[in-house]
Amino acid sequence: MPDPRLLRAFVAIVDAGGFTQAAARLNVTQSTISQQLARLEEAVGQSLIDRAARPVMPSPAGERLLGHARRILALQEEARRLLADPAGVTAIRIGMAEDIVTAPMMALFARFAARRREVRLDVASGLSRDLARRYRDGEFDIVVLKEAEPGPGSRASFPEPLAWFESVDSVGDWPDPLPLVTFPAGGLYRDAMFARAEREGLGWYVAFSGSSLHNVLVAVEAGLGVSLLPVNAARGRRLRRHAGLGSEPAMVTTVYVAEPVGPVSGLADGMIAVLSARAHAGGGDGPQDGPPA
């Protein structure tokens, strides 16, 4: 592709109708304009300007090139403006347990993004154990985990009430062995479910394993089995507490932040405020025993 500076000189000569006027338009000397046109003509192997015409006119080859030259220069200017805009050039990487990706959290992200256009929010959700490993490996700037207790370096933590749930449409007693709806191996609640069933001396089997919180919730609503779930996640679903197993000791939702100051830290403070409001609004309430009124 010809040097855009040479194309700009060619277009300026045509638009201005002469070398002197083009030089003034580009704020260069006439000799510079002439040299740039000569280099362009040498590169394409054809004369591009009818120098005998007054005002000067493009040659037949110049007429063919002119439209393309204008488009190339317009694209170059568009690219320059695009790269001059810092929007989205800096990433803040966030890992969150799936049920933390709520409307209030997204509203916080929207407000932050409106104030800091240079920042792009890269959000990933998944199992807490996987997220914790990725945070340790440096993949996240902020991570929100579910865990038994806060670990070293936690920024804030909030209680996460847990309970056993079944579908509101379930009737009669569950069969023996008890069907369980779980997360995949490595899921935090899965191990707690198995341990509780063993302590109670229950026969059990995994009837359904879902890789996302949504899949697990829908499976329990459909009556595939019972599951141990965060009370907040069960709110508003067609679920009720399983009378035979009831509650479990609360886990915690913990926030870890890689940077103590700066935009990452400021966003983490906002996320902590959202989680605090969630914890105070939820408390220990949620779907209770029996069908809804």
Residue 113 and residue 36 share a domain: no
Q: Tell me the pLDDT tens digit for each residue of 228-250.
A: 999 988 989 999 999 889 888 89
Q: What token pair was written down for 13?
A: 């000569």
Residue 142 is assigned to a structural domain of this protein:
yes
On whether both 128 and 206 belong to a single domain, the answer is no
**Do residues 178 and 130 share a domain?**
no
Q: What percentage of the chain carries pLDDT values higher than 90?
A: 64
Assess if residue 170 is contained within a domain: yes
Residues 212-244: b if buried by 16+ CB within 10 A, e if exposed: ebeebbbbbbebbbbbbbbbbbbeebbbbbbee
* CA torsion angle 202 184 225 196 (round to 10): 30
Could you tell me the CA-to-CA distances from 182 to 63, 79, 187, 207, 226 in Å, in that order? Answer: 71, 50, 8, 8, 9
Query: pTM of the prediction?
Result: 0.67
- Percentage of the chain exceeding pLDDT 70: 94
Domain end point (choices 84, 117, 141): 84
Per the listing, tokens 């806060």 go with: 150
In a domain, 289, yes or no: no
Is 102 within the bounds of a domain?
Answer: yes
203 and 178 inside one domain: yes
Q: Are residues 11 and 60 both part of a single domain? A: yes
The pLDDT value recorded for residue 129 is 87
> How many domains are contained in the chain?
3
From CA 199, how far away is CA 202, in angstroms rounded?
8
The model's confidence at residue 196, banded by pLDDT at 50, 70 and 90, is very high
**288 belongs to a structural domain:** no
| pLDDT (tens digit per residue) in 122-179 | 999 988 888 999 999 999 999 999 998 999 999 999 999 999 999 999 988 899 999 9
- Is residue 187 domain-shared with residue 264, that is, in the same domain? no
Q: What is the CATH number of the domain that holds 180?
A: 3.40.190.10
> Does residue 78 sit in the same domain as residue 9?
yes
Q: Which of 159, 171, 101, 96 is nearest to 131 (CA)?
A: 96
Residues 53 and 196 in one domain: no
Range of the domain at 153: 90-158+252-282
The CA-to-CA distance between both ends of the chain, in Å, stands at 73
The number of C-alpha atoms within 13 Å of 73 and in the hemisphere containing its C-beta is 15
Pair 114, 223 in one domain: no
Greatest Cα pair distance in the chain: 103
DSSP 177: S
In sequence order, which ranges of 18-127 are alpha helices (DSSP H)? 19-26, 30-44, 60-84, 103-115
Whether 148 is in a domain gets the answer yes
Q: Are residues 97 and 74 located together in one domain of the fold? A: no
Sign of torsion over alpha carbons 184, 227, 143, 253:
negative
Q: Which residue has the tokens 């001059």?
A: 84
Cα angle, residue 215 at apex, residues 209 and 217 outer, rounded to 5° = 100
Same domain, 167 and 24: no
Residues 165 and 36 in one domain: no
Write the pLDDT tens digit of every residue in 97-109: 888 999 999 999 9
Which range is least confidently modeled, 51-55, 139-143, 202-206, 269-273? 51-55
CATH code at 70? Answer: 1.10.10.10
Report residue 226's pLDDT band, with 50, 70 and 90 as the boundaries: very high
Q: What is the per-residue pLDDT across 63-93, written as a single tens digit (0 to 9) for each?
A: 999 999 999 988 988 887 777 666 656 899 9
37 phi and psi angles, rounded to 5 deg: -65, -40
Residues with Cβ < 8 Å from 210, sequence gap 6 or more? 181, 182, 183, 184, 216, 218, 219
